[in-house]
Each structure stands twice: as C-alpha cells, then as structure tokens.
Amino acid sequence: MRQFHHEQPVAGPPGPRLRAVLDEIDRTGSYRHTRAELTYGAKLAWRNAARCIGRLYWRSLLVRDLRHLASADDIAAECFEHLRLAGNGGRIRPVVSVFAPDRPDRPAARILNQQLVRYAGHRVGGEFVGDPAGAALTARARDLGWKCAEDRFEVLPLLIQERPDGPPARYELPDDTTLEVPLLHPDHDWFAELGLRWYAVPAISDLTLEIGGVRYPTAPFNGWYMGTEIGARNLADADRYDMLGTVAERLGLDTSGHRTLWRDRALIELNLAVLHSFQQAGVTIADHHTESERFLRHVAQEKRLGRPTPADWSWIVPPVSGGLTPVYHRYYDPVDPALRPAFVPREAW
Ligand code: ARG
C-alpha cells in the first residue's frame, strides 16, 4: 500500500487508506483492493518478475478487473475473451485477467492448465504424439471424457476447478481464440512439410498473483513470444518436440559427431523459421537480440528512477547465442523471493 501511494502520488498519502484497510481486515478477515490498487499491483508484479526479459513495457499491461467472477463457466468465457483481446488479430497485447481472489472462508477457483493455450501430448500405440509438457493435463482431460485426436498440435481444453472437493469442468477453446502460425523457412521450401506450428499467445495460467497479502490464484497473463522460447526450447528440447535431428537430416548435415555442430546449425535454422513465419503471418514476436537490448534499457531506466531490477541471469540470457546478446555480459540485482507484488507458484488446495 505504501509503495502504491509512493509511486502514484495522485492517490495522496497512504495513512487514511492504510487505516481503512486494517479496519476492513479486522471486520472481514480480508480487504478489497480499489481498482487503481489492483491495476498498479498487477503491473508491479510484472516489473518484479525476475525471470522475465520483457519487462520494459510493464506500464502498458492491460489489467482486466474480473473480481466479480468466480464460477468456472464465467472464468472460461472470460479466458476466451482474454485470448481474443491479447491476440488482437496478430498485434499481441500484454493482458492480465484477474478473477475473484481467495477469501478467508472460501478459496477461489483454479485453472488447471499451465497456459490457456497448450498442445496435448499422449501415447498413441508405442509412440508419443504431441507436447510432453502437456501430458499431465491431457491425461486429466481424457479422464473427464475428452476425446483427443492424434494430432501433434492439438489445443487442450481448459480445465477449471471451482472448489477443492469438486471435479474440474472442461471447456473446448473456440477457434477464434487460438491464433496459430504454421512454420516456414525463408530459404527451404521443404521446411513447411515438417508440419510444425505454434500458437501466438503465451498466457500463463498456473501462477497466483499476490498483491498486498491478497492472493488471486486465477489471474492468467500474457506477453508476446520471444522466438527462442519456441525455436530453441519448445520445438528443440529433447523432452519437448525434439526436432533437431529431423531438421538436421533435411538440411543434409553430417550428424556423425558433436564436432560438426549439426545440432547448433539446425537450431539456428529452426529459430530463423520461427521468426520468419510469425513475421509473415503478421503476429508479434521478438528476436533475442532486440529483446536483450530492450531489457537493458529497462534496467537503466529503473536505475535512473532509483530502483533495482532484480533478475535471474539464467532465465534472462537467451538459450541460443547467449554471448552475442548484451544481457550475457553482466550480473543483476539479487532476487528476493519475498518481494511482492509478484506472480508466485500456486499453493496446493
Ligand atoms: N516459455 C513459455 C512458452 O514457450 C512461455 C513463457 C512466457 N513467455 C512470454 N513471452 N511471455 O510457452
């Protein structure tokens, strides 16, 4: 509360509001944020996110105040609207949708998905199809009667649980919510035949937004993608889509040993395809060079305002060409896990 009043001087001195909040807590066991407190708190949670390289734009976050909604049906409908607003026809906008918080007498509903859009992953015959990162949710959805196609890029339904003792409800994402980009390579026509694609809006849905002691476990948020998240991790990691062998083979690389750097060469072409395809499709994506420069501008700007920028080096440095980016060549202010507001791992029910 003090930080809010300090950084937002139009709100006046914190004293009267602090007394009102303490009084409300005495009477009800909790308190309600004003809309301005919620909005600024959510932006601060982004600014405080030590793993995020994209924080330069923290002020531009669109905060949707949906605290009056607590039912699974309403949450699902507004998650769909979130994806439409965030996707914005390809000009991705950072958005957070804040649903009803935990109350002392009643925990809030939870979205079980890690992200609003994610691909299913499951065994078909002897072979794994899809995204291993989606395997647990796929199993859960199938237990609830979901019919899973045998596609490598099948969008998972939302599973939303209203209360700890009840079963989750299942919601199929409408087509107009999930913008996707088929992957092409600027120089290699065969690349399209690999049938790779990725979705446009990375919307994290399994973190709790904590502001001033109030916990919002249902507060999905998104930014735009940096290409390496898709090209160097989701499609490349051995425990994800594991595509480097296939790409190297199509490139005709010598894969007989590490020293031919075939993995590295395939990785660069895959990342180029991701950036090229999103750009062609008119969908916002950042390359790691640009996003690194922006991050250091953010650090410098915060420093001029007398504020530290806690950052986790191992998350900030991109997973390809680390040393080519300026974020590699320095250290950052230490991370305090108790810093709030923050997006924090969700407690079990
Ligand atoms: N790395 C995650 C993914 O590939 C998304 C994390 C959030 N990323 C972002 N650009 N806001 O799905």
Residue 347: pLDDT above 90?
Answer: no
For residue 155, give the DSSP letter. B
Q: Is the pLDDT of residue 79 over 90?
A: yes
The percent of residues above 70 in pLDDT, for the chain, comes to 100
Summarize the confidence of residues 9-15 as an average pLDDT: 97
Nearest ligand 1 atom to the CA of 226 is 10
- Probe target for ligand 1 pocket from 198, 225, 239, with the most ligand atoms within 8 Å of CB: 225
Among protein residues, the one whose CA lies closest to atom 11 of ligand 1: 223
Measured distance CA(333)–CA(313) in Å, rounded? 10
Nearest by Cα to 267 from 243, 301, 285: 243
Q: Model confidence over 194-226: pLDDT tens digits?
A: 999 999 999 999 999 999 999 999 999 999 999
Mean pLDDT, the chain, rounded, equals: 98
- Judge whether 6 lies within some domain: no
Q: Is residue 158 part of a domain?
A: yes
For residue 57, being part of any structural domain is answered with: yes
Count helices and strands in the chain by DSSP H and E runs:
10, 16
**Gyration radius (Cα) of the chain, Å:** 22
Mutating to test ligand 1, I would choose from 205, 229, 285, 290 the residue with most ligand atoms within 8 A of its C-beta, which is: 229
pLDDT tens digits for 86-141? 999 999 999 999 999 999 999 999 999 999 999 999 999 999 999 999 999 999 99
Q: Are 274 and 183 in contact (CB under 8 A)?
A: yes
Q: Measuring from each residue's beta carbon to the nearest atom of ligand 1, which residues come in under 6 Å?
A: 202, 204, 223-226, 229, 234
pLDDT tens digits, residue range 30-39? 999 999 999 9
Task: Please tell me the distance between residue 224's alpha carbon and the centre of ligand 1 in angstroms.
Answer: 8
Closest CA to 83 of 33, 161, 138, 155: 155
Residue 200 lies inside a defined structural domain of this protein: yes
Residue 26 lies in a domain: no
CA of 101 to the centre of ligand 1 (A): 24
How many separate domains does the chain show? 1
Does 344 reside within a domain?
Answer: no
Nearest residue to 112 (alpha-carbon basis) of 71, 168, 155, 177: 168
Q: Is residue 304 part of a domain?
A: yes
pTM (2 d.p.): 0.98
Residue 263 falls inside a structural domain: yes
Share of the chain above pLDDT 90, in %: 99
What φ, ψ does residue 257 adopt, rounded to 5°?
-165, 165
pLDDT score of 169: 98
Q: Helices (DSSP H) in 29-93: which residue ranges? A: 35-47, 72-87
Q: Which residues are catalytic?
A: 52, 55, 224, 229
CA separation (Å) from 330 to 64, 281, 295, 309?
36, 35, 12, 13
| pLDDT tier, 349 (very low <50, low <70, confident <90, very high otherwise) | confident
What confidence tens digit (pLDDT) does each residue in 298-341 have? 999 999 999 999 999 999 999 999 999 999 999 999 999 999 99
Instruction: Identify the domain containing residue 197 by its residue range.
Output: 32-316
* 123 phi/psi in degrees, rounded to 5: -80, 130
Look at residue 348 in the predicted model and tell me its pLDDT.
Answer: 82
Cβ contacts of residue 333 below 8 Å, gap of 6+? 308, 309, 310, 311
Q: Whose CA is nearest to atom 6 of ligand 1?
A: 202
